[in-house]
Structure 1
């Protein structure tokens, strides 16, 4: 069963998020350390929360894994990726792990 791991970066008062660093440095780190175990990656930059509404999130990264073993293997290699988070944001990421159903 395929699983997804979503990392959601909420916009909160007083927080920052460097989209250029995230795209050009952080996501390549994800590929370098975890990529061998990831089937697909999608990163979405928040633009709006609906018509005439500001976004609630800076970005959402979605990684799809073939199964739990692949996700566990990727997470075992995630140390450098996790350590890099303060370099581009000071918001507290939220995590959603789920079964891919569609």
Structure 2
């Protein structure tokens, strides 16, 4: 069954997020270290939480995997990607692992 990993970067007082670094350097690390196991990916930059409502997240990255084995392989290879977090944000990201249907 296909699996997903979502990485959410919530906005709160004092949080920072360097979108240019994230797009150019961090996602290149994702591709280098984890890309072989990822079927598809999309990153959503937070613009609003609804009409006239500020966004609740700087960004949400969604990765789709063929199965649990591919997700496990990606998580095992994620060390360099996780180590890069302080280079673009001071946010502790939230993660959601799920199944698609």
Give the TM bin, normalised by the shorter chain.
Answer: over 0.9
Distance in 2 between residues matched to 1:91 and 1:76, nearest whole Å: 22
- Map of 1:57 onto structure 2: 57
Distance in 1 between residues matched to 2:50 and 2:97, nearest whole Å: 24
Compute the displacement of 1:83 (Å): 0.1
Q: Which runs of 5+ in 2 are unaligned?
A: none
Output the aligned Cα RMSD.
0.4
Q: Which runs of 5+ in 1 are unaligned?
A: none
> What TM-score do you get using the length of structure 1 for normalisation?
0.98
- Map of 1:79 onto structure 2: 79
- Map of 1:25 onto structure 2: 25
Compute the displacement of 1:81 (Å): 0.1
- Map of 2:6 onto structure 1: 6
Compute the displacement of 1:37 (Å): 0.3
* Dislocated runs of 4+, deviation >4 Å: none
For the residue of structure 2 that corresponds to 1:96, the secondary structure is strand
